[in-house]
Structure 1
Amino acid sequence: MLCATNVRTPFSLLAATFICRYTAMAEGIHSIAYVTIPNDEVGKTLARKIIENELAACVNIIPKVISIYKWKDEITEDSEALMMIKTRTSRVDDLVKFVRENHPYIVCEVISTPIQNGNPPYLKWISDSVPEIKK
């Protein structure tokens, strides 16, 4: 990881040191979860509940996803939307439980992957927005 390159002032050095330390400390403590939904309206309702319950800092809804999958021994094609949910890795299980309890599908997709690197202020914002344990 490149950290304190091209540092010209003491303030720049301090900022670069903070960013490098925060990034190294933050690897894997945040995750992105992906959830497919039947349409944008279902996504908006679910996203608002997720944010209200402090299970994520941000939910993006990406419209017009075509899903092709096998369901009950038949190949199915559906138009869906995709939710991209930014949260703490430690809260993914809570998020999965919440989505399963509030999603219209019998078997809903909820998968996640850890964030290994990113903009330190953004990662800090996720941490500030999503408590380790719900209050």
Structure 2
Amino acid sequence: MTTHFRLIFTTCADVSEARSIAEQLVKLKLAACVNILPNVESVYMWQGEVAYATECKLLIKTKSEKMNELIQTIKQLHSYEIPEIQVIDVATGNLAYFNWMDEVLN
């Protein structure tokens, strides 16, 4: 079973920003659901130096046709100069959940 759903990952500076972005994505019907995972430790290169941050990870569930608008909305709302945005194709899963997503995102 191939689906038309996507799972999008991003990180946020703190829970307040994560909640704000999640709420807007759901209100705009760009996401059916957003999970917020607080206190994610990140280690990355920034401006030639190793950087460390405690962030929040968002797991965003959407349909493929909403993906481009969702990505643009994240970029507009995000505090980071270059926000992480990664997209994973959802190959299969619970059909009842996918039906719920279709209903919510219409």
Same fold (TM over 0.5): yes
* More RCO (CA 8 Å, sep 6+): 2
Residue in structure 1 matched with residue 85 of structure 2 by the alignment: 110
| 2:10 counterpart of 1:29 | no
- 2:84 is equivalent to residue 123 of structure 1: no
Q: Structure 1: which 5+ runs fail to align? A: 1-23
Match of 1:84 among 54, 59, 66: 59
The 1-side partners of 2:12 and 2:63 are apart by 21
| Structure with the bigger percentage of helix | 1
C-alpha distance in structure 1 between counterparts of 2:40 and 2:3, whole Å:
27
SS at structure 2 position matched to 1:107: coil
Contact 1:28 1:89 in 2 (8 A): no
Aligned length: 106
The structure 2 residue matched to 1:63, chosen from 34, 38, 57, is 38
Q: Which runs of 4+ in 1 moved over 2 A?
A: none
Equivalent pair of 1:54/1:130 in contact (CA under 8 Å): yes
**3-state SS of the aligned residue for 2:44?**
strand
CA distances 1:13-49 after superposition (whole Å, capped 9, x unpaired): xxxxxxxxxxx3xx23001000100111111111111
Q: How many angstroms apart in 1 are the aligned matches of 2:44 and 2:103?
A: 37
Question: Percent of counterpart pairs with the same letter?
Answer: 25
Which residue number corresponds to residue 51 of structure 1?
Answer: 26
- Taking structure 1 as the reference length, the TM-score comes to 0.76
Cα distance between partner residues in 2 of 1:106 and 1:61 = 21
Q: Distance in 1 between matches of 2:8 and 2:47?
A: 25
Aligned equivalents of 1:93 and 1:116: distance in 2?
19
